[in-house]
Amino acid sequence: RGKRAFIAGVADDNGYGWAISKALAAAGAEILVGTWVPALNIFETSLRRGKFDQSRRLPNGSLMEIAKVYPLDAVYDSLEDVPADVRANKRYSGSSNWTVKEVAESVKNDFGSIDILVHSLANGPEVTKPLLETSRNGYLAAISASSYSFISLVQHFLPIMNPGGATISLTYIASEKSIPGYGGGMSSAKAALESDTRVLAFEVGRKKKIRVNAISAGPLGSRAAKAIGFIEKMIEYSHANAPLQKELLADEVGNTAAFLVSPLASAVTGSVIYVDNGLNTVGLAT
Ligand code: NAI
């Protein structure tokens, strides 16, 4: 039987989640995606109208099939956590069962189990503010959407994950080194995510022989990154200073994710793997 993957955080064909989905599809996995509720409509419409057909093409010429798109808002664990204003919001009231617990239940009802869980989402409402100017609410929102969301996904999907399965999340080097512009507590959120990778790897390794790793990715001009505002500068900086002076392709992150969740990486867990053209290793570039 082929493997089945749930990829949380796919809402267009530009980001890392899409590239990871493609790499897993190319390796023969069945693809389920979780799409942020406010982005669901446009994503499904674009898919249906063939807007992504070009970028759905796999190396063997076939098109990536997405077996099912689930609406998801990973800042809510169950329906009781959803505030009244969000429930009443038009973009949310049009769909149902989008809290993490409900999505895991729906996937169980539809497919029974999964082998691979991918977390490719982040959100920090105050990301453009320096940490020094970040509000408590902004900071906690960044942690909730970008770090706890991973714990929640692992917690709720674990019962339907097959032993030997694997999870991946996406992180950024601003967790370890100060990167001006990556504010709002997003640097803190990534530091939490990386620490949680090690702790969850131990816990779910012991419990179910499941592996937990993170990819620390270099800069990509995704929709989320454009919202931060300085992504073009980061891409230029990387090109000027990294050992490999080439564009970083989302597919390169996708391929590493495919390796990490495959049996080829059967002894790799609790690790943060850099896919950044080597930029993290440079002290002084000449
Ligand atoms: P993206 O825009 O393709 O992906 C982010 C996704 O998160 C979007 O689809 C958005 O709809 C979704 N999302 C936001 N809040 C959500 C919520 N509450 N519930 C469910 N989904 C939600 O952008 P990108 O850049 O590919 O981001 C994917 C991951 O890669 C993120 O964790 C990001 O921090 C990480 N990353 C990105 C880098 C970059 O330069 N683009 C560099 C290093 C890491």
Is 1 a residue whose pLDDT tops 80? no
Is 240 a residue whose pLDDT tops 90? yes
- Ligand 1 center to 190 CA (angstroms): 12
> Which pLDDT does position 259 carry in this prediction?
98
Mean pLDDT (the chain, rounded): 97
Which H or E run contains 66? strand 66-72
Is 166 a residue whose pLDDT tops 80? yes
Name residue 140's amino acid.
Answer: L
Domain boundaries, the chain: 4-276
**182 catalytically annotated:** yes
pLDDT digits (tens, 9 = 90+) for 65-112: 999 999 999 999 999 999 999 999 999 999 999 999 999 999 999 999
> Which pLDDT does position 186 carry in this prediction?
98
Q: Classify residue 87 by burial, with Cβ atoms within 10 Å: 0-12, 13-18, 19+.
A: exposed
- Ligand 1 center to 122 CA (angstroms): 5
Out of 16, 92, 139, 182, pick the active-site residue.
182
Contact 59, 32 (CB under 8 A): no
> Which pLDDT does position 14 carry in this prediction?
97
CA of 130: how far to CAs of 143, 182, 188, 231, in Å? 15, 8, 12, 16
What mean pLDDT comes out for the span 229-241? 95
**70 catalytically annotated:** no
Ligand 1, residues 41, 44, 66, 120: which to mutate, most atoms within 8 A of Cβ? Answer: 120
Ligand 1, residues 222, 234, 236: which to mutate, most atoms within 8 A of Cβ? Answer: 222
pLDDT digits (tens, 9 = 90+) for 100-140: 999 999 999 999 999 999 999 999 999 999 999 999 999 99
Name residue 31's amino acid.
Answer: I
- Ligand 1 center to 234 CA (angstroms): 17
Is 274 a residue whose pLDDT tops 80? yes
pLDDT digits (tens, 9 = 90+) for 206-229: 999 999 999 999 999 999 999 888
Is 54 a residue whose pLDDT tops 90? yes
| Closest by CA position to 166, among listed 116, 216, 107 | 116
Phi, psi of 43 (to 5 degrees): -65, -50
Interacting residues of 75 by C-beta distance below 8 A, sequence separation 6+: 123, 141, 144, 145, 149
Which H or E run contains 4? strand 4-8
Superfamily of domain 4-276: NAD(P)-binding Rossmann-like Domain (3.40.50.720)
Is 156 a residue whose pLDDT tops 80? yes
* Ligand 1 site, CB within 6 A: 9-11, 14-17, 36, 39, 72-75, 120-123, 145, 170-172, 217, 219-220, 222-225
Is 167 a residue whose pLDDT tops 90? yes
